[in-house]
Chain A
Amino acid sequence: MELYIAALGFGLISVSVIAIASVGFTMQFGITNMINLAYGQVMIVCAYVAFYVNQAGVSVWAAMIAAALAGAVLSFLLNRFLYAPFQRKGTNLIGMVIVSLAASLILANILLPIVGYGSSSYEVDQGPLVLWNGLVLTTAQIAIIVVAVLLMLAIHGLLRYTRLGKAMRATAANPTLARNCGIPTQHVIDVVWLLTGALCGVAGVVAGMNSENFAVASGAGYLITIIAAAVLGGAGQPYGAMIGAVIIGMVTELSAAVIAPEYKEVVAFAILVFVMVLRPQGLLAKRGALAAAG
């Protein structure tokens, strides 16, 4: 029983990490119609930005802000100079997927000679242990959960209660109509890439903290989990991604306790397959994966 309670604790942290990452990923898809397969790699780049800031003696929490900035700038540039021109040119969804995969490859291999093949880890002051009904978490882990909850609330507030959020939802629903209604969609999309890029950066750092160490090669693994959570919730749906993160995070950590930790990604994959067979549109989306491409 203790094993399962411990797994629940790990699950909470996993949920936090996946939620931050997959909400950013799914918002990029929902609002800018771009399945950005370079997302996992941008996370790794940001994780390394934070790593070097951390190495310089700065606390990892301050380094997280640097990573968020780096993620915002990198994602913005990626969209401005690569994705948006291709989209304007009329490249279809599949072409865009291939372009983003190529971008991921380029990012990974520019990073590789700089940081090397080895894995790195942050110097984190874990703080005192907190015990609660058999759950044992360090203060740093609780901080990760708090960061995730705050970010999710911020996203919720942004989308529901601000003009910008309304503009984002309008752009997601119908970009042409939104533009005709006077919404500066280009500007909205730029902001979306900055915001989701910042989420991506934070996600890279918390993922690196959660998995003890990270390397350039970790990007693919991150991406798999993010895709699983986003598709499970219904791609393009921020709330769906949050629900997907809860399910994927909890199930994978419990499975790690029951089966073996190596198979976490496999369990995430199995969930993904079930979703694709039984409910390809995801939990929340009305059309999602079933809609015609276009």
Chain B
Amino acid sequence: MNSYYAATLLVYAAVDIIACLALNLQFGVSGIVNFSFIVFQAVGAYTAAVLSMPPDTAYGHFQVYVGGFQLPFPIPWIGGALAGGLLAIPVGLVVLRKLRTDYQAISLLVLSVIANSVITNVRPFLNGAAGIAQVPGPFSDQIDPLSDTYQFFYVALTVPCVLLVWLVASRIVNSPFGRSLRAMREHELAATAIGKNPVQLKMTIFIVGGVIAGLSGAILVGYIAVWAPSVWLYPETIILFAAVIVGGRGNNVGAILGALLVPVGFFEVTRLIPQKIGDWAPPPNLIPAMEWVAIGLLIIGFLWFRPEGVRPEPRRVFEGAPLREDMSNAGSS
């Protein structure tokens, strides 16, 4: 049982790290306030689920959904990632081209709420509010999914994904492309003036973020085996925002730190709160509600006292760049 707990914690940590790295690329590095981030994770999860599951007739009338292709591992995960990227294209084209940044944020929030309500109401598509259950994990036909071996096997599958995403994210942040993104975040007009196309930059990072978010959803659904609208309500995105803000916007180490502090650490700590204090037991919904209040206070507190986060984005100074005195010398000689 303990190994099961450890494996669960590790898989959740991996999923949250991947998600926070993606959100950091969009929000921290590029300044896109993607309030519908969780939708991209959900699309990846649903896609991975229907790719790995048998057709819904296999379950009788227990659940209905489209597709059901029973494809072997890596395809569902790759499919989930692709689906996240594909969704980012139309959303990005509508939201990112003309709108002001605050309008982008509220449009994406609206999208998140609406997408959830559509999936909840349209039952034949993805089984509505009840969601999809009994999603087979990778290789679950060969290793018993309930065994300890499988738990750690799953962790072993997710670790390369985390490393891959970390590699991609750090390559992006440290590349000239990442520099363009930061330039756009700091001053869009100035970046445009030196020949950067902000729409193209935003679209690219939105799609990259969508792919990574889709992958995180695919990994999560393979492990927890269920996916329903109630797990991707819009406040879930706020947790990830809290993580990135707490960790430190704009740097990948900060995003990972935030993922470990907020979604993983924070919710693990609240599990330690006793269910009963003496004879007094708090009402059952009090503690979950207070967790959300704390998330809200965490965001507000950090934005007020330490907006740069626990680990601030490093100031990038280029060694080759001439200092001001050198330039004046060069001008006079």
Contact residue range for chain B?
35 or more
Residues in B with CB closer than 8 Å to A102 are: 238, 295-297, 299-300
Give the tally of cross-chain contacts (CB within 8 A): 126
The residue from B98, B100, B109 contacting A37, defined by CB atoms under 8 A apart: B109
A35 contacts which chain B residues (CB < 8 A)? Answer: 102, 106
Query: Knowing that A35-B106, A99-B299 are A-B contacts, what are 13 other residue pairs whose CB atoms are under 8 Å apart, sorted by A's residue number?
Result: A93-B101, A97-B106, A109-B290, A109-B293, A112-B285, A112-B289, A227-B106, A262-B117, A269-B114, A289-B99, A289-B100, A291-B100, A293-B102
Cβ of B208 within 8 Å of any chain A Cβ, yes or no, is no
The 29 listed contacts between A and B (C-beta, < 8 Å) are A89-B304, A93-B102, A94-B31, A95-B303, A97-B33, A97-B106, A98-B241, A98-B303, A99-B303, A101-B109, A102-B296, A103-B296, A105-B235, A105-B238, A106-B292, A106-B293, A106-B300, A109-B292, A110-B289, A110-B293, A113-B283, A113-B290, A221-B117, A227-B106, A269-B111, A276-B103, A276-B107, A292-B189, A293-B101
Interface assignment of A228: CB less than 8 Å from any CB of chain B:
yes
- B234 contacts A220, C-beta separation under 8 Å: yes
Q: Is the CB of A221 within 8 A of B113?
A: yes
Q: B157 near A: Cβ within 8 Å?
A: no
CB–CB A94/B117 < 8 A? no
**In B82-108, which residues have CB < 8 Å from any A CB?**
94-95, 98-103, 105-107
Q: A94 and B102 in contact (CB under 8 A), knowing A102-B296, A117-B285, A220-B234? A: yes
A294 to chain B, nearest CB (A): 9
Contact (Cβ within 8 A) B101 A113: no
CA–CA, A290 and B97, complex, Å: 10
B92 to chain A, nearest CB (A): 13
- Give, as a whole number of angstroms, the nearest-CB distance from A78 to chain B: 12
Distance A253 CA – B265 CA, assembled complex (angstroms) = 46
Contact in complex: A262, B289 (CB < 8 Å): no
Residues of B within 8 A of A (CB): 31, 33, 35, 94-95, 98-103, 105-107, 109-111, 113-114, 117-118, 121, 189, 234-235, 238, 241, 245, 283, 285-286, 289-290, 292-293, 295-297, 299-300, 303-304, 307
**A106 CA to B117 CA, complexed, in Å:** 22
Cα–Cα distance between A289 and B296 once the two chains are bound (Å): 27
**B102 / chain A contacts, CB cutoff of 8 Å:** 35, 93-94, 96-97, 293
Please report the C-alpha to C-alpha distance between residue A22 and residue B101 in the assembled complex, in whole angstroms: 21
A130 in the interface (beta carbon within 8 A): no
Contact across chains for B110 and A98 when beta carbons are under 8 A apart = no
Does residue A272 face the partner (Cβ distance < 8 Å to B)?
Answer: yes
Q: Which residue of A lies closest to B93 (CB)?
A: A277
B161 to chain A, nearest CB (A): 28
